[in-house]
A and B are shown apart, each in its own frame.
Chain A
Amino acid sequence: MNNTTTYIGEHLWIGQIGNSFVILSFITAILSTIAYFFFAKDNSLNSEWKKFARLSFSLHTISVLGIASTLFFMLFNHYYEFSYVWQHSNNSMPMEYIMSCFWEGQEGSFLLWTFWNVVLGNILRKTIDSHWEAPTMAIFSLVQVFLASMLLGIYLGDYKLGTNPFILLRENPDFANLPFISMPNYLAKLDGRGLNPLLMNYWMTIHPPTLFLGFSSTLPPFAFAVAGLWKKDFTTWQKPALTWTFFSIMILGTGILMGGAWAYEALSFGGFWAWDPVENSSLVPWLIIVAAGHVMMINKNKGGSLFMTHLLSIFSFLMVLYSTFLTRSGILGTSSVHAFTDLGMQGQLVIYVLTFIFLCVVLLIHDKLIRVSYIICSLLLLLISIQFGHKTVLLLSWVVASIILTIHSYILNFPKEEEEENLYSREFWMFVGSLLFLLSALVITYFTSIPVLNKLFNLEKAPLKVSDYNMWQTPFAILVLILIGYTQYLKYKKTDKKIFFKQLMIPMILSLIFGIISSIPLYFIHDYSSANSTQKWILISYSLMLIAGLFAVFGNLHYFMKVIKGSIRHAGSSIAHIGFALILVGALISTSKKQTISQNTSTKNVASLGENFNAQKSLLLTKGDTLQMGNYFVTYKGKERKGIDVFFNMDYFTKDEHGKFIKAFELSPMVQDNPRMGQASNPDTKHFIDRDIYTHITYADLTDTREAKKDAYKEPTNFIGHVNDTIFAENAIILIESITTNLTEQQYANTDSTLIVTAVLKATDINGKTYKAYPRYILKNNAVMPDAFELNELGLKFIFWKINPEEGSIEIQLSEKVSNTKEFVVLEAYEFPYINILWIGSLAMIIGTIIAILERRRVNKLSKS
């Protein structure tokens, strides 16, 4: 790099401000952690540590806000001298996408996460009971130390700690030695690379902030639970933490569902959920935080379940960390379509995850001697692994030791319930339900972690398929739905069996009747008889899940109307449960009854290769043709280019009773001719109340055929044949009627005159109209001079250029005009029945959870005053 160059127009000062904030945020997070740590030890309210801790956290807050505003300011002003700005924005980009640029990159999304943590940290600090402030905020600050380090971008020897968002473009090692570096005036003509056009939509504006707020929201319950372990006070933190836990359930759930909606509306997965590792890693923390919330409810109403409340609250956050490791370390490799690329932070992310596990185990251990030995052994193992390798063995022995110590301290230190849990109690079944959620989350985690296991044990296992996930999750769904249906009817501690069964009678009967009646047409009329025994089991499980889902819906509906008598204030849980059940029912029906309506008409049968090969779903649709798709007849009208987006317009018709076509609707699936990512297909969906018609293009020619060249001929094809043979052109069938010559063979042999052989061709176009063509083979002085014949009406050219006397065949070259080739597209189309049940369920779940949160806040306020 040329150090003597003086660059013109750079705003280096703003980068220095940004970097100062980055370093300040890291240092203040460390100070805040230390100060809160000592404040927590010496819990006198007037301690000096307290003032210092609060001051540090405030400074930390200011510096995080400072980093964010600096980056935003740079993006807004197009300061392309900064690598991040150059990578994620450009001049032509509409301003409403500035926020999306902010979090498009890895550094920006870490910053978003840090930002939300700071927001939640400040709310927590203001609202918390004073004796919980120190320990919870110490944990908060420690988390911030790690997150702030992700933005440092400092080299410790050879190891790079974090990636810095304020690195200069000319200092970015990826662009070293490019010509612009030697140009002092490079900024004058530089435009940014810009936001990935695929992400220029409103989903990119709302989904990442929601999801990252969801990730952040698992931190307060975690901080409370760890504080509880630390202070050996297992109960009093649960009440203030409960609202946070339900907030987390609501916001993380919203984030996940938004992701599903984005995938369904704008990406070409062909569905809303594909069990992709990135999706799974946001679902798993949610499943666990839901379990945590329910166990905390047990604790609040009846006491007990202390170990589980700690375990689940802690686990949910740890799973967020593990997800971060999975999706950002590059370990997923080819098994995910949308993992981040590796920024060389694998080591740092592993340390991040392990540190927090370590911390929790240390705090769990009661016995001082064991605790000290555990700390020493852990550090020793870390040193050995750095020095001598054997990382897998050492890591595993550490994990096993940590688990044993956890169980040991559970047995020794946690109070156990003396009496046997009553089978007719709400807490027992809520506990079982929470356990099912945890178990389901662990199964998903295990499946998703196959690439990690491959790396640890040198295995070559392929990632699991969607069908494996579905098969393993269906039983959990059935059991959970049944529990959701009846558990609310049980009272804490003990319930009168007679009343319980009497109340349940109506939902049970309704769900059985409706479930069985609707299962028959859905699963048992067409599919069942042709299914093999595995498929039969799958169909039965679908039917069971449908009945269970309806039971959950009717159970909660009946509870809402009869037991709490329609009081909305108390109906939060009922509404949320109905929503959750509807999500699962909607997902079940729309996925299991998803119909491929684009049927490949090719006769080739590849079913012999196995059932995985039986998905012939691509349909070739030529411009102007009308083909049947499901109940519709589809015409491809042509394409339309708008900027980099190419829209393919299709009309969907239905037939009336006289067989006449009636236009039903239009769809315009799009292919983005994206200069950065190449072609990206964007589906278009027609929404009906009871189903969606989803269409996306899998193959199309994006070049504009209206341009020039229309009259040019394409590469000719050669045809060898005899009289009465036929030649196929794009737009006509050509028959060789006869071949005539001007001379007999003898005449030609005797004279030096010209031999002219004429092929008489009859071309019949699609409408049955016939044309004649007379290409001539001319032989003069032993030289062949074919006379081409152009049939302008059909855009065809024939050259009769060879005669093979031995075979008695002739050879004709056929050229067709470019305009003869009709445009076509290859598409896939699906019908998703009743997918609206899923979206209605999503809304109900979110609204129900919000009602529950508001009610909890109201009750908390009342009890305080």
Chain B
Amino acid sequence: MKKIHIVGIIVIAVAIGVIVYSLGSNASYANFAEAISNPDTEYHVVGKLNKEIAVQYDPKINADECSFVMKDNNGLEKTVILHKSVPQDFQKSEQVVVIGKMEGGNFHANDILMKCPSKYNAGTPQVQ
């Protein structure tokens, strides 16, 4: 057996390790219903901010907490408590992804990703 074969075996071992690790990791996209049935698992929930209900954020009480109502892709609405400061331009978001888990009837998120449609394509030609 050549030394280079040992190296080959290590390569294959790493490849298997990476695949097993990534398939085994729990983090996946889900909706609120799945998050409710598995309260201890972390999920990425995709949905839309309910813009009719005001986003609650009072930095004087806690600068690292804001709450809002989000509707997931199945139409289920839940209050999300985000343990961060309120994202900039939250109202303009088209889609949000919250990362966290259900606890006590609310979804507790430790991070949020937003998609703003305007990011590169805002504005139309206006002639006065």
Contact = CB atoms under 8 A, between A and B. Distances in A.
A190 interface: yes
Nearest to A615: B110
A428 B23 CA distance: 34
Given A334-B95, A446-B18, A677-B122, A604 B27 contact: no
A602 B88 CA distance: 21
A678 B92 contact: yes
B3 A420 contact: yes
Interface in A175-190: 175, 178-180, 183, 186, 189-190
Contacts of A828: 85
Q: Is the interface of B mostly helix, strand, loop or mixed?
A: mixed
Interface in A786-833: 824, 826, 828
Interface stretch (A257-265, A394-402, A435-443): A435-443
B127 A183 contact: yes
Contacts of A671: 88
Interface string B90-128: 001001010111010000101101011011111111111
A341 interface: yes
Chain A: interface residue count, which band?
35 or more
Contacts of A423: 3
Contacts of A446: 18-19, 22
B119 A677 contact: yes
Contacts of B88: 671, 678-681, 698-699
Chain B: interface residue count, which band?
35 or more
Contacts of A439: 11, 14
A618 B110 contact: no
Contacts of A180: 125-127
A450 B123 CA distance: 33
A468 interface: yes
Best-surrounded residue of A180, A617, A671, A678 (most CB of chain B within 10 A): A678
Contacts of B77: none
Given A464-B27, A676-B123, 16 more contacts: A169-B125, A179-B127, A183-B127, A335-B113, A431-B7, A432-B7, A439-B14, A461-B23, A461-B28, A472-B18, A606-B108, A609-B83, A612-B42, A619-B63, A699-B57, A699-B59
Nearest to B6: A432
Contacts of B111: 612
A186 B127 CA distance: 6
A613 B103 CA distance: 13
Interface string A421-455: 10100001001100100010011001100100000
Nearest to A435: B7
Q: Is the interface of A mostly helix, strand, loop or mixed?
A: mixed
A432 B124 CA distance: 55
Contact of A618 (B64, B92, B100, B122): B64
A333 B57 CA distance: 28
Interface in A596-647: 600, 602, 604, 606, 609-610, 612-613, 615-620
A824 B59 CA distance: 9
Contacts of B118: 676-678
Contact of A462 (B28, B65, B83, B127): B28
Contacts of B86: 699
Given A334-B95, A421-B4, A612-B110, A178 B124 contact: yes
Interface of A: 80, 86, 169, 174-175, 178-180, 183, 186, 189-190, 193, 196, 333-335, 337, 340-341, 420-421, 423, 428, 431-432, 435, 439, 442-443, 446-447, 450, 459-462, 464-465, 468, 472, 600, 602, 604, 606, 609-610, 612-613, 615-620, 671, 675-681, 698-699, 824, 826, 828
B61 interface: yes
B29 A600 contact: no
A101 to B, nearest CB: 14
Nearest to B119: A677
Contacts of A612: 42, 100, 110-111
Contacts of B38: none
Contact of B127 (A189, A196, A443, A610): A189
Interface string B15-52: 10011011101011110000000000011101000000
Contact of B64 (A420, A600, A677): A600
B56 interface: no
B60 A620 contact: yes
A699 B85 CA distance: 7
Contact of A613 (B23, B44, B110): B110
Interface string B53-89: 0000101111111000000000000000001111011
25 contacts: A189-B128, A443-B18, A447-B18, A447-B22, A461-B27, A461-B28, A600-B63, A602-B64, A606-B83, A606-B108, A610-B101, A612-B42, A613-B110, A615-B84, A615-B110, A617-B64, A618-B59, A620-B60, A620-B63, A678-B88, A678-B92, A680-B88, A681-B88, A699-B88, A826-B59
